[in-house]
Amino acid sequence: MPTSRIPLLALAVLTLGALASAAELRLPAAFSDHMVLQRDKAVAVWGWADADEEVSVEFAGQKKAAKADASGQWSLRLDPLTASAESRKLTATGKDGRKAEVSDVLVGDVWLGSGQSNMAMTVNRAKDFEQEKAAATFPLIRHFKEESAGAPTAQTQAKGKWLACTPDNVGGFSATLYFFGREIHRELGVPVGLINTSVGGTPIEAWIAPEVQETKPELSAALKAQSAALPKIDPEKAKADYAVELKKFKAAKAKAVAEGTKAPRPPRNAAEVSERKGSYGQLFNGKVAPLVPYTLKGMLWYQGEANSSDTRAPLYVHQLSALVTDWRARWGEELPFAWVQLPNFSRPGEGWPLMRESMLKTLALPKTGMAVTIDIGEAKDIHPKNKQEVGRRLSLWALGTVYGRKVAATSGPLSAGHVIRGAEVVVAFLHFEGLKTRDGAPVKGFQLAGTDKQWKPATARIDGARWLVVTSAEVAAPVALRYAWEDNPETNLVNGADLPASPFRTDDWAPVPVPAPAAKGKGKTK
């Protein structure tokens, strides 16, 4: 090689190295085409650039600037924006005129939804999908599905994209979020953004920041016990076993398709399942932390099935309270927060009643709400299809409390105390207006017990606007009352808006242990 060419080659290498070291001017994934910005609040905008680079952001006639820190991160806030269905462009500009642009940006209300499979459940799995698909032309409703995996440390970059609601797109939207957002949009007429960060089969521990759980004694002790109880799984063996089962599944599926029969369920990697169920904080790190501080109107939560054992459910009030409090702190405001109380579902033990109780107790936190769904579950399906009504009930809470609109009711009846008068237990309710039974029949679902702790069927009559008087011919001196305290109870108590009363109890007695199932071939009677 001629020596005269060496300096030029060296210069080229140095130039390429300099270009490679320069950071890309970029925005987070949630700032992408078709997004919705929150109205009436200072809107957080952030991203990455070169260290100390000046970045300006332009949107809706505003121009704001920020300087990247030593790591290249920058952030700013736009002044509050009014709701707008106008498709506009947001532009971030750095040095040398380089830009990051987002098109088709609307301004309205943005809600974040999280949880496990019933929040993740898509519209194409809900009831009446074909009718819903045909009617799903709502260009001002947008959905962002967060697609990151869990992570051992808090991440800064999300994955996913915004989609406008069309018949072709709606099938992949979270059903609960979509039906909620549709009601909000219909009532208010503003664009609605729905951010879906949820994963099926996951416990609440995966969604609470690790440091929060490690510093709260009641949570850290439970984590240690759960980790110790997890089965020890060889990852390599699990991977090999999964490969074998996957091959069998593919063959069985092909056969089912050819024969027009129902295909089997796909196998799962036991190591991945164990890691997901045993990890704590990883889904927060991977799927929630990257969304902070995206400006929101409020948050929705649909989870609890994975924590609904007799032993874990009582802890849930502390876990859900910690999650709500911590998420609000990270977003820097007391955001409205509502959840879905677990519906009726046939499962042995008191885990589901105890879980509903923990959810009821968490309403002690300010600016919270709960959709009671004890009447719209399915006894044999943990994923009930009627997500339309779930979304509607959440929307009633939001419209009535967050937006101040006049609605028939924001919740079903909630117990508000009781007194014992001899053989009678008198119960008061919140959200009681129009208290009645849905079918006009006598009230169903009450039990009374005396000091012997033996539960007996009870009758209840509505006395006035907000009172129920409960008695039992088998309990002369009651000391405790329960309503709908079963996994799959038969209930009919509602308010004037036909919203069901939440299950509740007045005692704190420990659950009755569920007998272990008899071994196969043993314990049978003729």
Domains: count for the chain: 2
Beta bridge partner(s), residue 298: 111
Please report the pLDDT score of residue 256 as a whole number: 87
Please report the pLDDT score of residue 148 as a whole number: 95
**Does residue 267 fall inside a structural domain?**
yes
Closest CA to 26 of 48, 1, 7: 48
Model confidence at 7: pLDDT above 60? no
Higher pLDDT, 6 or 291: 291
By mean pLDDT, which of 9-23, 226-240, 305-319, 357-371 is the weakest?
A: 9-23
Beta bridge partner(s), residue 301: 114, 339
Residues 452-469, mean pLDDT to the nearest whole number: 93
Please report the pLDDT score of residue 239 as a whole number: 83
Task: State percent of the chain over pLDDT 90.
Answer: 80
CA–CA gap between residue 116 and residue 303 (Å, rounded): 5
Please report the pLDDT score of residue 512 as a whole number: 81
**Does residue 189 fall inside a structural domain?**
no
> Encoding tokens for residue 92?
């971030």
Higher pLDDT, 205 or 237: 205
> Encoding tokens for residue 433?
């207006």
By mean pLDDT, which of 47-56, 157-166, 230-239 is the weakest?
A: 230-239
CA–CA gap between residue 215 and residue 95 (Å, rounded): 43
By mean pLDDT, which of 140-149, 259-268, 490-499 is the weakest?
A: 259-268
Higher pLDDT, 45 or 1: 45
**Three-state helix/strand/coil letters over 198-215:** ECCCCCHHHHCCHHHHHH
CA–CA gap between residue 25 and residue 28 (Å, rounded): 10
H helical segments located in 260-315 = 270-278, 282-283
Dihedral over Cα of 117, 120, 125, 131: its sign: positive
**Does residue 460 fall inside a structural domain?**
yes
How many Cβ atoms sit within 10 Å of the Cβ of residue 25?
A: 22
By mean pLDDT, which of 119-123, 171-175, 256-260 is the weakest?
A: 256-260
Count Cα atoms within 13 angstroms, Cβ side, for 56: 10
> Encoding tokens for residue 24?
């890309």
Please report the pLDDT score of residue 18 as a whole number: 38
By mean pLDDT, which of 8-17, 27-36, 120-129, 482-491 is the weakest?
A: 8-17
448 Cβ neighbours under 8 A, 6+ residues apart: 425, 455, 456, 458, 470, 471, 472, 474, 475, 478, 480, 481
Please report the pLDDT score of residue 11 as a whole number: 38
Please report the pLDDT score of residue 14 as a whole number: 36
User: At 275, is the secondary structure helix, strand, or coil?
Assistant: helix
**Does residue 464 fall inside a structural domain?**
yes
Please report the pLDDT score of residue 1 as a whole number: 42
User: At 278, is the secondary structure helix, strand, or coil?
Assistant: helix
Domain boundary among 279, 297, 316: 279
The chain-wide mean pLDDT, for the chain, equals: 91
How many Cβ atoms sit within 10 Å of the Cβ of residue 161?
A: 14
H helical segments located in 230-339 = 235-259, 270-278, 282-283, 316-331
Closest CA to 335 of 373, 302, 293, 280: 293
> Encoding tokens for residue 177?
């979020």
The count of residues in the chain is 526
CA–CA gap between residue 526 and residue 521 (Å, rounded): 12
User: Please, are residues 351 and 306 in contact by the beta-carbon 8 Å criterion?
Assistant: no
189 Cβ neighbours under 8 A, 6+ residues apart: none
**Does residue 491 fall inside a structural domain?**
yes
User: Please, are residues 135 and 277 in contact by the beta-carbon 8 Å criterion?
Assistant: no
- pTM (predicted TM-score): 0.89
**Does residue 477 fall inside a structural domain?**
yes
pLDDT band at 22 (very low <50, low <70, confident <90, very high): low
| DSSP letters for 58-99 | EETTEEEEEE--TTSEEEEEEPP---EEEEEEEEEE-GGG-E
User: Please, are residues 303 and 207 in contact by the beta-carbon 8 Å criterion?
Assistant: yes
What is the helix (H) or strand (E) element at residue 219, kind and residue range?
A: helix 217-229
Please report the pLDDT score of residue 231 as a whole number: 66
Please report the pLDDT score of residue 233 as a whole number: 72
Cα Rg, the chain, nearest whole Å: 27
pLDDT band at 5 (very low <50, low <70, confident <90, very high): very low
Please report the pLDDT score of residue 228 as a whole number: 66
User: Please, are residues 49 and 23 in contact by the beta-carbon 8 Å criterion?
Assistant: yes
Question: For residue 270, what are the domain limits?
Answer: 216-279
**In 39-74, which positions are buried (b, 16+ CB within 10 angstroms) versus exposed (e)?**
bebebbbbbbbbeebebebbbbeeeeebebeeebeb
Closest CA to 205 of 225, 175, 233: 225
Q: Are strands 298-302 and 99-115 parallel, antiparallel or unpaired?
A: parallel
Residues 425-450, mean pLDDT to the nearest whole number: 97
Please report the pLDDT score of residue 283 as a whole number: 95
Count Cα atoms within 13 angstroms, Cβ side, for 254: 6
User: At 304, is the secondary structure helix, strand, or coil?
Assistant: coil
**Does residue 246 fall inside a structural domain?**
yes
**Does residue 4 fall inside a structural domain?**
no
Please report the pLDDT score of residue 229 as a whole number: 63
Residues 384-389, mean pLDDT to the nearest whole number: 98
By mean pLDDT, which of 111-115, 207-211, 267-271, 469-473 is the weakest?
A: 267-271
Please report the pLDDT score of residue 12 as a whole number: 40
- 392: phi then psi, degrees, rounded to nearest 5: -65, -45
pLDDT band at 10 (very low <50, low <70, confident <90, very high): very low
114 Cβ neighbours under 8 A, 6+ residues apart: 196, 197, 198, 207, 287, 288, 299, 300, 301, 302, 303
Higher pLDDT, 515 or 375: 375
CA–CA gap between residue 103 and residue 87 (Å, rounded): 8
